[in-house]
Chain A
């Protein structure tokens, strides 16, 4: 059986600009997939190709076994939730949602019935007569979602679905979106530049850069094992330390950075090669005194910021190594690390928490 959504070798060129470069991936039915990347990485172009607004220079899009070449946007089993929702300002909420159903010439009873169901789904029952301008941002977002779902698309494309909402509303809406997706079982592709949004929403993430799909994996995998320096930097906070591979030493590899660092690696490494070590802030532990652990060295605290759940520090180690670290406030011992009271300390981190990046 072919995959539900098949995207094969899609490329799009505007003159000399390669907007999308040979992107291929398959999706299963009911997946919540995110395309993540900085602006200009080609994710929006790919979305527009899937919706049928752009014709790819080459490549194939198949949905449920059907080739989408030469199928108009109006006839595709695909709907979009637009970035700024693109609600029709002159129509009521009801008519916005009913728009796609009226175009399909459904019976009036059927339309009423389905719109009422959708209003209930997005918790807007009784708001049908309101105009979009009278709604809050969150309500507008839900109308846009209901309108995009009305035609029961096989694939729903969401262009930066949470970008227009403020932070508090965003986390609530996030869970709501996942709930609705699970309830309906519709395949979702979310396009976003916000790594947090991609991580929390999706079952799998495709990271795009300069038109190419650079990594496709689960959120956890992308965070813990980014394939390239770009991905490591783009997804979450991280510090980089340039190093050279020295030799295998017991279970670990010894790396020559400004200080010797032990790193765990499952595969064989080429001694003498220059690499980049990367480490997430929360993997580093800060202590006031030396504890004699592996990968421990003294640091000077340059800067700190209080985040409620924890404190973020910027520190400088021997040889000028700059590191970011995040200390959770879940341990009472951290109370003695009142950042305004200490200027120096010791850090250590497990060799397993180091990411080895072989590209430049």
Chain B
């Protein structure tokens, strides 16, 4: 009797922890953010009049659509930061995939002790602050930085190369930050790939490129999708790296939200932009999940 009970309901003993965690630190803040985005701004603490309230007068819900209408009216101001953010996230993802795939393959095909060392090396950058690493990168790429100094000293160039405030410096920073997030899921899917499958393909007449196209790539696709999502999602909201490494024209949506929150103290509008951003991100994710399910069945 007890056993049947545990077999049926035993999972409840374990599942409350992740469910509780996600509800408390993910669902509640998200609901609050949606609540703020439908609220009216005011000069007070907090700086908005909540749309959904539980007070002395009982429960009231009076949503205000002004914030979204404002964004709609001034869409030109928000469009370019959005385009910038999505373009940055998209190309960062592409570059990460480009560099991470061969690295993940190499790690996954290495012998066991070397494999663990390489994985630790991949994770090593996470041990220092992201900001510190960006300043280190500036120290490398500056007109009077390490690289230019060396090239000048070696006589390869006569004037310093402009590397800072370019796409090169931005994507270097993005790559430095996000590459591990791409390598790890790719590694996880490539390491599971049975060597016998590759030999079977070769045995059946497939050349190297065909083995990659017909066996390795399709079987590592879940890893590719997971890696792309892990890079793309935080990259869309990224504004520190382009601000530090890029030129002044690089206005990102993340920066816009930050400005609305802390400069203008207009929390409702900032929240509304954030919600729109989430919607933009969620659509490709849902699509990817849907594709994934299709592929499995």
* A residues at B contact (CB < 8 Å): 51, 53, 72-75, 78-80, 82-84, 86, 88-90, 99-100, 103-104, 147, 150-151
Contacts and interface: CB of A to CB of B under 8 A. Distances in A.
Contact of A103 (B197, B204, B295): B204
Interface of B: 194, 196-197, 199-207, 210, 214-215, 218-219, 295
Given A89-B219, A90-B219, A74 B202 contact: yes
Contact of B204 (A83, A84, A89, A99): A99
A86 B194 contact: yes
Contact of B200 (A82, A90, A104, A151): A82
A135 B218 CA distance: 21
A99 B211 CA distance: 11
Given A88-B197, A103-B204, 7 more contacts: A74-B206, A75-B205, A86-B194, A86-B200, A88-B201, A88-B214, A147-B200
Given A73-B203, A74-B203, A74-B207, A82 B219 contact: no
The 4 nearest A-B residue pairs measured at CB? A100-B204, A103-B205, A86-B196, A86-B200
B203 A80 contact: yes
A73 B218 contact: no
A99 B204 CA distance: 7
Contacts, number: 57
B199 A53 contact: yes
Contacts of A79: 203-204
Contacts of B210: 103
A99 B201 contact: yes
Contacts of A147: 200, 204
Contact of B202 (A73, A83, A90): A73
A86 B219 contact: no
B251 to A, nearest CB: 43
27 contacts: A51-B199, A51-B203, A53-B199, A72-B202, A73-B199, A74-B205, A74-B206, A75-B205, A79-B204, A80-B199, A82-B196, A82-B200, A83-B196, A84-B194, A86-B196, A86-B200, A88-B200, A89-B219, A99-B201, A99-B204, A100-B205, A103-B205, A103-B210, A147-B204, A150-B204, A151-B204, A151-B205
B296 to A, nearest CB: 10
B196 to A, nearest CB: 4
Contacts of B197: 86, 88
A89 B210 CA distance: 17
A292 B199 CA distance: 63
Specify the main secondary structure of chain B where it touches its partner: helix
A86 B206 CA distance: 15
Contacts of A89: 219
Contacts of B207: 74
A232 to B, nearest CB: 34
A135 B210 CA distance: 26
A147 B205 CA distance: 12
A261 B214 CA distance: 66
Of listed A74, A80, A151, residue having the most chain B CB within 10 A: A74
A104 B194 contact: no
B203 A84 contact: no
Contacts of B196: 82-84, 86
Contact of A82 (B199, B205, B215, B295): B199
Nearest to B202: A73
Of listed A80, A86, A104, residue having the most chain B CB within 10 A: A86
Nearest to B205: A103
Nearest to A51: B203
Contacts of B218: 90
A147 B194 CA distance: 18
Contacts of A90: 218-219, 295
A83 B219 CA distance: 20
A74 B205 CA distance: 4
Contacts of A82: 196, 199-200
A78 B204 CA distance: 9
Contacts of A86: 194, 196-197, 199-200
Given A74-B205, A100-B205, A104-B205, A80 B200 contact: yes
Contacts of B215: 88
A99 B196 CA distance: 15
Contacts of A84: 194, 196
B203 to A, nearest CB: 5
Nearest to B215: A88
Contacts of A75: 205
Contacts of B206: 74, 99, 103
A16 B91 CA distance: 51
Contacts of B200: 80, 82, 86, 88, 147
B93 to A, nearest CB: 23
B109 to A, nearest CB: 15
A51 B203 CA distance: 7
Contacts of B204: 74, 79, 99-100, 103, 147, 150-151
A86 B202 CA distance: 12
Nearest to B208: A74
B278 to A, nearest CB: 32
Contacts of B201: 88, 99
B286 to A, nearest CB: 23
Of listed B203, B206, B207, residue having the most chain A CB within 10 A: B203
Contacts of B219: 89-90
Nearest to A89: B219
Contacts of B202: 53, 72-74
A147 B197 CA distance: 13
A227 B199 CA distance: 36
Contacts of B295: 90
Contacts of B203: 51, 73-74, 78-80
A79 B214 CA distance: 19
A308 B207 CA distance: 53
